[in-house]
């Protein structure tokens, strides 16, 4: 019997990777109702990426760059440390591309994230929860040092392809979505890729744009996905001088904001997103006190669906 060709479908179709990026910009209207009308806070809804987070951008660029440079070849295993979102992006893209993915994850990662990683078929190594993301980093480095030819180490904390993904996508999207009118960009510091790449691009467009980094206000915090830079292993891609300002955000303020965003704005976002809004609101209120206008843009790295078994919603 002759093999028949796949029939032509008269609809618009696409592939999974093309869905990464071009996320919508949300206007937060209710938590800013007390501010003058010439000050606005906007947020990129990064959970609309197919893997559910901003990390899809970096993971895709890390993989594409490694393949182009011959560092990730057929039969090799992609390894990295992750607290969840980058790992989910790796696992999704690995399943799509036929790449085996092995991830080192702190054992206290939420059950939702572990379930997603298992569903995609990633191999997981759970590390000491008391050592957090730094413990996972040390563990994956030990593995790669033992068998360097077997693994491609994505190394999201030190790989320039991480921040370059945001230089070429996130920063451009924000500039275009605000018609170049933004005055402030605010983002949290984890791997720092989102902040580094987006800030660089926005500064290229307009050096007057203020770029403000958000991090926990102490080494002992509940802001999952964010690093207290003074006491953590600093990512190699992190350049503190890029930031015009640093804001320390408390865990209590962040948890309260996460609940507010759900109940007042109808957006159920992750902890790092809520921390960014705490910082954005501080900047907005300072502008209002000076009677200055502002278009403030931040990042919602993901939704809360992968964290609902943890604080602040439990």
Question: Where in the sequence numbering do the catalytic residues fall?
Answer: 55, 272
For the chain, helix, strand, coil in percent to 5 are 40, 20, 40
Neighbours of 12 (CB within 10 A): 5
Number of residues that this document lists for the chain: 314
Lookup result for tokens 């939420």: 110
Residues 6 or more apart from 96 whose CB is under 8 A from it? 16, 17
Residues 6 or more apart from 180 whose CB is under 8 A from it? 205, 206
Task: Dig out the tokens for 291 from the structure.
Answer: 């009677």
SS3 279: helix
Q: What span, in angstroms and rounded, lies between the C-alpha atoms of 221 and 236?
A: 22
* Bridge partners, 248 (sequence order): 215
* Bridge partners, 211 (sequence order): 185
Q: What span, in angstroms and rounded, lies between the C-alpha atoms of 236 and 191?
A: 9
Torsion on CA atoms 284, 290, 294, 297, rounded to nearest 10: -30
* Bridge partners, 27 (sequence order): 42
Determine the Cα angle at 301 with ends 278 and 49, to 5°: 150
* Bridge partners, 151 (sequence order): 77
* DSSP-derived secondary structure for 169-193: THHHHHHHHTTT---EEEEE-SSSH
């Amino acid at each position: 019997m002759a093999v028949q060709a796949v029939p032509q479908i008269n609809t618009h179709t696409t592939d999974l990777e093309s869905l990464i990026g071009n996320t919508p910009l949300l206007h937060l209207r209710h938590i800013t109702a007390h501010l003058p009308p010439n000050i606005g806070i906007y947020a990129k809804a990064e959970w609309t990426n197919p893997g559910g987070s901003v990390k899809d951008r970096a993971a895709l660029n890390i993989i594409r760059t490694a393949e182009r440079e011959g560092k990730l070849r057929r039969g090799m295993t992609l390894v990295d440390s992750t607290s969840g979102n980058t790992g989910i992006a790796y696992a999704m893209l690995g399943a799509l591309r036929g790449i085996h993915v092995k991830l080192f994850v702190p054992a206290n990662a939420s059950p939702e994230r572990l379930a997603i990683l298992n569903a995609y078929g990633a191999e997981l190594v759970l590390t000491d929860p008391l050592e957090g993301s730094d413990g996972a980093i040390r563990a994956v480095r030990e593995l790669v040092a033992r068998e360097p030819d077997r693994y491609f180490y994505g190394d999201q904390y030190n790989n320039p392809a991480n921040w370059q993904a945001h230089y070429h996508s996130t920063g451009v999207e924000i500039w275009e979505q605000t018609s170049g009118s933004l005055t402030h960009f605010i983002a949290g510091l984890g791997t720092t890729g989102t902040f580094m790449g987006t800030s660089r691009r926005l500064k290229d467009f307009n050096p007057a744009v203020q770029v403000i980094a958000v991090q926990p206000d102490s080494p002992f915090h509940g802001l999952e996905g964010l690093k207290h830079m003074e006491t953590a292993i600093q990512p190699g891609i992190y350049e503190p001088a890029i930031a015009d300002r640093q804001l320390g955000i408390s865990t209590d303020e962040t948890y309260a904001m996460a609940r507010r965003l759900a109940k007042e704005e109808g957006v159920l976002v992750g902890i790092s997103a809520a921390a960014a809004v705490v910082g954005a609101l501080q900047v907005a209120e300072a502008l209002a006190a000076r009677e200055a206008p502002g278009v403030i843009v931040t990042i919602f790295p993901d939704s809360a669906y992968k964290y609902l078994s943890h604080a602040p919603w439990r």
